[in-house]
Amino acid sequence: NMKLGGLGPDYETIKEKKEKLKLQKEYSRQIKEYNMKNITVVPRLPAKPQVPSVSRQKALEYAKKIPRPKTFLTKQSAQEVLPQAPTGSSLPPLPSLESLWNRHKKEKEAVAAFKALRIL
């Protein structure tokens, strides 16, 4: 009367494990309910009064008295950081599609030459 392993899941052991887990969860739920009903408030120790350190207070006082560095913002530097759109039709001309396509082909040939030389 020996059962050998076979292909596929063993439903009997799965059912046993499932039932065991179900009982564990039920037990833990009951314990949790019991503990919630019978909980007692444990008095905590009084907090220690915080004593401010003298050296920290001195450091804070010193930090308040140091002069802050001054920043100089001129109108030119503000304009350089945030350039505004030019007024009028003085926009630079855009390169034509043909010139861009020719440039792309030349650069593609240069990359192919580098790959042939195994530089890249």
- 101 sits in which H/E element: helix 97-116
Q: What is the structure's pLDDT at 26? A: 97
pLDDT tens column, 23-36: 999 999 999 999 98
| Proportion of the chain above pLDDT 90, given as a percent | 32
Tokens at 27, concatenated: 């037990």
pTM over 0.85: no
Residue 86 confidence (pLDDT) above 60: no
* Confidence bin at 81 (pLDDT 50/70/90): low
pLDDT, averaged across the chain: 80
Domain boundaries, the chain: 11-42
The Cα 118–Cα 120 span in angstroms is 6
